[in-house]
Structures are given as structure tokens and as C-alpha cells.
Structure 1
Amino acid sequence: MKRVWKRALIGVGAGVVIIGLGIAGYAWHLYGSVKDTAAKIYEPIEQTVYVSKDPEVPAKPQEVAEALIEKRHPFSVVVMGVDERENDKGRSDTLIVLAVNPAKKSILMFNIPRDTRTEIIGHGTTDKINHAYAFGGVTMAKNTVEHFLDYPIDYYVRINMEGFEHLIDILGGVEVNNPFSFYYGEHQFNEGPLKLNGNLALLYSRMRYEDPRGDLGRNARQRDILMEVMKSSLKFNNITQIQKILKELGTSVKTNITFDEMKTFMTDYREDVGNINMVEISGSGSTINSVWYLIVNKEERERIHELMKEQMEDSVTTVAAP
């Protein structure tokens, strides 16, 4: 029985929402509805075993990762916020990586900036990392993130931005502390504490050109919204609203997290991940062939790799490469 269920809903480069599908834990008579929703959102992908260049990082086949979850071992998730349009697959304009370690009672969370220049695995090109999804869907996006981090990722969650506003509204909105005043989408966001509905939360998390930190500032706002939604979802117990959330999830989310894993995360992990450590990936802008990219140098990639390795360190079991 499994899993901390987290899913993140993000918009066009924007706001992340991670909600515990485990909200059903408040009302087990909704078990059938939760199971049906889990079946709708479950979408396995072709799994490859990423082997890191770092000999200290174990390679984990998917079946091994699933077995370790039962024993409350660390796991990692890449959350893709996708802006899909008619006749257009869209791009993963938001990529957030979560590394969960119950022994450390913590989650490491960071955005990979959408304009990051990297090799697109399986496409034979070097491009912006958010193009990987457009070229090859979830599988290519996940493989590209693994290559960029030089670290295997256990699970993915893909969320369509269309459900973003609805989920925020169902939860009653989010509260944020805006560091500076700005105008975006015909709305003025004043400095200081703000209560945002779904539409405003989406706008708030999209803006970057007026942010003195650019994409890094936008990523910080995404993480703020994510944190607030996580807090709200863990306290949520309105049965009628839970049913609305489940309906929304069924149309907005896809993941290779199974129903049993969701139950385990909810029942076994929930109390162990109270500390969320949010970090940033730094880089410098560069124009190559008239296209602007964020260049993340070797030292920064190694720093993030080491943070992942330290967070995912498992003091109980070492998994041998296949």
C-alpha cells in the first residue's frame, strides 16, 4: 500500500501544484473513487535504466525502485508542467525535481530552468531542455533530465495547465508573500501578503521579464505556490471538494505512480517529509545562433548532482546495477 502522492500542476512555465492524492486518507469510504482516479491517471512509460558516470550512484531498474518503496527508501520524481494546445503536444515549460528521503525526513526540491541548454537524449540535438517533451514526450523529457543531472529518476508526473486554476480554486486559493510589486496579465500584484485564486496564481507564477532575477525569480514563485498547495492539501478534509479534486485529477494528470504506491506514500511516508529544502540551479545567459539559452556550467551541474546523491543516500540498502 503506497504513496505520498504528489502531483504538481504547472502552467506555461508556471505554478506548481503538488497535492497529495492521499487526501483520500481523510475518508476511506472514498476508496473506490480514489482507485478509479488512480487508474485513469496511471500511464507507464518505456523505462530505461540510467547508469550514472558516478560509480557511487546505484542504477535502479523500475521494479527495484518499486520494491524499495515498500521499505520506505528514498525515491525521486520529475514533475512536468505541460501547456498542451489543440494539435500541439506542447512543451514541459516547468520541470521540478523532488528527491524524497524518509530517513532524513526531508525533500530536496529544485526547478530546472526551461531555457537550460543540454543534450536532448534520443533526439541527437543540443537544445533547451523544455523542448525534450515536444520532441519525444514524457520518456524523452525524463531521459534528458536524468542525463542533465547524471542521476536516475524513479517517477514522473505530468500535469496539463488547464487543471491548474481549478485545483487551486477547489483548495480555496493560496496565500503568498510577494517580494515586489508588478503588473502582469492586466492585474496588479502588490508587494506583501496576497491571497490568490487559481487564475491569479497562474499569472503570478508566469511572470519573469519584470523580475530582476528573470527565470530564477519565477521559479521561486512557483515553489512558493507549490509549498502553499502542499500545506493546504495535507489539511484538506472536505469530502465534496475531495470528489471535485479527484474528477479534476482524472483529466489533468498522468503518472507512472501506481495506486499501491500512492497508498504507501500516504500511509508510510506522510509524516516523514516535513522538511523541504529548496535549491536553485544557477547559470549564465548566452545567445547561440540567435537563440537565447541558460548555460549551466560543469561545476554547477556537479554541485546539483552531489546534492541529489547526498539526499538520496540510502543507509539501509544499496542497489546493484543490473
Structure 2
Amino acid sequence: MERRRTRQKRKKRKFVSLILLIILVIGAVFAFNVYSSFNSALKNIVNKSALEKSEKREKDVSLKNKDAFTVLLLGVDEREGDKGRSDTMLLMSVNGEKNSVEMLSIPRDTRVNIAGKGKEDKINHAYAFGGVDMSAKTVEEFLDIPVDYYVEMNMDGFKEMVDAVGGVDVENSFAFSYGGESFDKGTIHLTGQQALEYTRMRKEDPQGDFGRQARQRQVIQGILNKGASINSIWKYNDILDALKTNMETNLSVDEMRAIQKNYAGARNNIKQEQIEGTGKKIDGIYYYIVPDEEKERVSTIFKEHLNLQ
């Protein structure tokens, strides 16, 4: 009787060991497939030639050493027959030592000198004139800080990214309707299409473009939070498909890994800056005019965060 029980225990242990081995093998295969798919997808979105190295950098940024760096996020509204315009311009400085991010939404109607064109125009027109590089150089000239990296996303891709992570939750400050969608006040869950309309409305917002920018930041933060969740591993195919078709960056795969390793905590400490100005019509066209002292104030904030002064 005792021997029979012993044999049964051994069989159970062998069975459990076999199940654990099968689970480990399946997990290893799954992890390898995820890793390979991510590598392949990320390589497809890398474009190192789109942005020239900033002349405002005396030495290269070392992500390994946690050097502070900047990223310009361009949300591009592509139109048939032209390159489109940067509907969204978000500048972020990321400091690995402080584990913090400074974020600035630059109003698309801001009147600036367009780098390389020798003319003043709306900042979002820089993309139509010269793509990513001219947009970045214009921002550099506007705020006197380097732009190290860029991430360009088709605004339709914005919708696909939200759907890929299973939607996002945001805190809506007032009820409104736009683009056939209605948004209640309070905490609401957004699908991709809803997120697109939620971030496009500005004329009915008491804060105008600043209100729209705040909603864009909410959705971007929601994507980051959901994307970093362990649950997103099971949706990696959808996320990769959205990235491959709608996103481009000059960050290499190794640089992305370094940021994930050395700066991961920074996403939990994001400070949102606002650049003050006034609306004014010039030759019948509306512009957002930023005074020199305000540009200097914002520039100083970013320079200090980047350890440039």
C-alpha cells in the first residue's frame, strides 16, 4: 500500500514537472517570437536620415550614461496631394538622473521664423516646407535648445494605436460633442475613433488650442500606460501593426532599449509646461504671438532640465 502511494506521488511529480517544462518551452517560444517581431517591426520604422544632428549639441548624447535628451513628437495630418502639416507638436526633454520629463505642446498657429526658409509663418507649416528636419530646426531656433530625436505619427495611426492597446481612459473636464461622438464630463473610456475626435476639437473649448493639447497629452499618457502594462504583451501583434504603418523615428532599436532600461521611471514624473502668447491677425491670417521674454522663460526651463546651463 505504501509503495503504491509512493509510486503515485512520483507519477504526480513527473506529471507536474512535465507540465512545467511544457509551459516553460511555450513561454520561451512566445517570448522569442515577441522579441523577433518587435525587432523586425522597430527596424522598419527607423529612419536615421530624416533628422540631421543638432548643431546645438557639442557632444553626442549617451543614453547609456543617462544623459538628458529631447524628443520632438509630430502628429501629422496627411492630406492627398501634399506632405501634410504637423497638427501636433510636442517637445519633451527626458532626464535620466532626475527620472523626469518636461513636456511642451507648441500651438500650431505659433508665428516663428521657419528655419532654412527665411520667412515667418505658422510653425506647423515647417513640416509641409521641409519635413521632419525643417520642423526640428525651426523648434531649435524658436527655443534655442537641441532636438535630438523625433517620433512622427500619422494622426490616423493615433486611432490605431489606441485600439491596439484596448482603448484608453481619460478625465474629461466638460461635456461636448464633436465629429459625431459625444463625450460626457468625468472619467470616460475612448476607442481609437473616439480618441481621434476627442483630440481634434478646439473651437468649442474655452481654452482653445491649449485645451486640445491637454486632451492630446491625456490620450498619449493613456497609450504609454497601457502599452507598458503586462496585459499588452497579448496584444503585441496589433501594436506592432499600428507602429509599422503609422510611425517613424530616428531612434534605433538599441537606443529604444537603452531608454526603456535607463529612463523607464521618467514616464511617471511628467511636468507639462505651457507657452503664453496672444492671438493676432496679420494680413487676415490668425497667428499665436509669443513674446521674446516668454520664449526665454521656456527655453531656460528646458536648458536647466537638459543640464545645458
What is the aligned partner in structure 1 of residue 36 from structure 2?
A: 32
Instruction: Return the alpha-carbon distance in structure 2 between the equivalents of residues 192 and 282 of structure 1.
Output: 27
Mapped pair 1:141 → 2:135: yes
Coordinate RMSD, CA, aligned: 1.7
Residue 248 of structure 1 aligns to a residue in which SS?
helix
**Larger deviation, residues 269-278 vs 128-137:** 269-278
The alpha-carbon deviation at position 94 of structure 1 amounts to 0.3
What's the counterpart of residue 125 of structure 1? 119
Distance 2:68 2:53 in 1: 19
User: Aligned runs of 1:100-249 on 2, under 5 Å?
Assistant: 100-249=94-243
2:246 corresponds to: 252
Compute the displacement of 1:112 (Å): 0.4
Structure label with greater radius of gyration? 2
Equivalent pair of 1:157/1:253 in contact (CA under 8 Å): yes
1:284 equivalent among 269, 278, 283 = 278
Cα gap change, 1:255/1:60 in structure 2, threshold over 3 Å: closer, same or farther? Answer: farther
Query: Match for 1:42 among 39, 46, 60?
Result: 46
Match for 1:41: what amino acid?
I
The amino acid across from 1:207 in the alignment is M
Q: Is the 8 A contact 1:103 1:272 kept in 2?
A: no
| C-alpha distance in structure 1 between counterparts of 2:64 and 2:108, whole Å | 33
Secondary structure at 2:303 match in 1: helix
Letter in 2 for 1:31: Y
CA distance in structure 2 between the aligned counterparts of 1:35 and 1:118, rounded to whole angstroms: 38
Q: CA 1:170–1:104 in structure 2 vs 1: closer, same or farther (change >3 Å)?
A: same
Counterpart residue number, 2:5: none
Q: Secondary structure at the match of 1:89?
A: strand
The match for 2:297 is 303
Partner-residue secondary structure (3-state), 1:91: strand
Identity %: 43
Unpaired runs of 5+ in structure 1?
Answer: 1-25, 52-58
Give the aligned residue type for 2:192.
G
Q: Distance in 1 between matches of 2:267 and 2:81?
A: 39
CA distance in 1, matches of 2:32, 2:93: 28
CA distance in 2, matches of 1:151, 1:259: 25
Cα offsets for 1:202-226 (capped at 9, x unmatched) = 1011110001111111111111112
What TM-score do the two structures reach when normalised by structure 2? 0.86
Kindly provide the amino acid, as one letter, of the partner of residue 269 in structure 2: N
Q: How many corresponding residue pairs?
A: 279
Given that 1:101 and 1:273 are in contact with CA atoms closer than 8 Å, whether structure 2 keeps it comes out as: no
Taking a change above 3 Å as real, the CA distance of residues 177 and 239 of structure 1, as seen in their structure-2 partners, is: closer
Greater helix proportion: 2
Superimposed CA distance per residue, residues 234-286 of structure 1 (whole angstroms, 9 cap, x where no aligned partner): 11434441122112211111110001101111122213442111111111000
With over 3 angstroms needed to count, the CA separation of the structure-2 counterparts of 1:121 and 1:238, relative to structure 1, is closer
Unmatched segments (≥5 aa) in structure 2 = 1-29
CA distance in 2, matches of 1:105, 1:301: 25
TM-score by length of 1: 0.83
**1:28 CA displacement:** 5.3
Mapped to 2, the partners of 1:60 and 1:224 lie a distance apart of 34
Counterpart for residue 13 of structure 2: none
Select 2:81's aligned residue among 84, 87, 90. 87
Asked whether the equivalents of residues 50 and 146 of structure 1 are also in contact (C-alpha less than 8 Å), the reply is no
